[in-house]
Structure formats: C-alpha cells, structure tokens
Amino acid sequence: MSERRILIAPSILSADFTKLGDEIRAVEDAGADMIHVDVMDGHFVPNITMGPFIVEAVRRATDLPIDAHLMVTNPDEFADPFIEAGADYVVFHAEACYDVAELIRHIRGRGVKAGLAVNPPSSADLIEPHLANIDLALVMTVNPGHSGQSFIADVMPKLAHVAELKAERDLGFLIAVDGGVGPKTAGTVVANGGEALVAASAIFRAGDIGEAVRGLRGAAESALPGAA
C-alpha cells in the first residue's frame, strides 16, 4: 500500500442545518479529516450561502480543521473575517483575485493556511506561479454554485498536471478536488493525483452519513497505487 494518504473533506453545503452539530460529529466519528465550508456571494457564483458566523458555529462543533472555500469576488476583503471565525484554511479563487501573491502572504502571515482554487474552464497556469507558496490547491470539477452537480471528467488532465508540478518541484501543498466527487468518481480523482476529496451530496444526502464517509474513503483508497 502506498504511503499517500487520502483525506476526506465533507462539505456542509448539503448538511441538514437543523442538526448541523450532529451531522458534523457523525462525519468526524466516521473518520473525516476536515470540514469544507462553501462560501458563495451571489456574484462570483449564482448562489448565496454561508458567512463567517457559520464557520464560528462549526468551530464550536469540532476540532477538525475547517477549510473555508471563498467563492466571492472580493476574497481580499473576506479573508480576515473567516480567519477570525476560526478557519484553518482560507481558500480563494485565482480568478477572483487581483494580487494573488499578496493575499497568500496576508493569510499565511496571520498563521492560517492559504489555498488557491481554480474553476474547470481556467488553466492551471493561473495557480502555477504560486504553488510553492500555498498550502492547498483546490481543483474544481464542477462550475461552483450548487452541490449535486455532475463531475466534469475533462478536468482530469489539469489535475494530473498540478500533481506532476507538485512532484517535480517537491512541494508540500495538498491537492484537493471539489465537485461531483463520490464513490463512482473517487477512483479517477485519486488516479490523477487528488489527495483531499471534498464531497457534499455524496456524504450528507446518502442516508447513512458515517457509511458514506467510509465508503468514499474505501473507493478512493482502492485507487491508490499498490492497492489490491
């Protein structure tokens, strides 16, 4: 078995918010590695979701790392409120930021991990100059806006390219994949270099949340090089 470890990052976008704390505990008990919070502003994406107060609530519900995925047009104005709310990772879109290097510096300067997200139509060139300075690359496999969309397999060559760059340069950032990830797509994600699997509907709409986390991990791990 390879030493590469798969991380499971449930996205609470599909959680039942009348019992958010219970659902977070269920994914934690099932071995989830981090909690993904999808922040949408109604401008960068056609939907409005959660603000820093949700991150504050998640922070009180779990000690797992929280990654705040900012799908907003002005991430430079919103990094600080999410850091103050308790996010461990602040992930913003390269497409939405004028001075990417400066925002990475700012986030890391506050002792928080910085992540860069890239949408399906965007080239990896958008994040390539920053790979040595980030903690996480979030490769989107849907056009962000809603959970429950279909996985865009055309993104796989870009994911593999990001993984190659990481290996060639011996970098430490985590490669996360977000959108349409579930037991059926986990194998191709892992085969192309994905390390952290973000999943909303495949976990929170699956019936048994704990089973869904374990099933996703099993599907992902069986695609690791050297797995039986």
Residues near Zn ion, by CB under 5 A:
38, 69, 178
DSSP assigned state of 7: E
Q: How many Cα atoms are found within 13 Å in the side-chain-facing hemisphere of 125?
A: 3
199 part of the interface to ligand DX5, by CB under 6 A: yes
* Minimal distance, residue 13 CB to Zn ion, in Å: 7
Show the binding pattern over residues 32-51: x = contacts ligand DX5 (CB under 6 A), - = does not. ----x-x-------------
Show the binding pattern over residues 57-96: x = contacts ligand DX5 (CB under 6 A), - = does not. ------------x---------------------------
The DSSP annotation for 17-33 comes to: GGGHHHHHHHHHHTT--
**CA distances (Å), origin 72, targets 45, 60, 121, 144, 203:** 7, 24, 17, 11, 24
Residue choice 55, 200, 219, 220 for contact with ligand DX5 (CB under 6 A): 200
217 part of the interface to ligand DX5, by CB under 6 A: no
Active site residue 76: no
CA distance 184 to 182: 5
Radius of gyration of the chain (CA): 16
198 part of the interface to ligand DX5, by CB under 6 A: yes
189 part of the interface to ligand DX5, by CB under 6 A: no
Annotated active-site positions, please?
38, 178
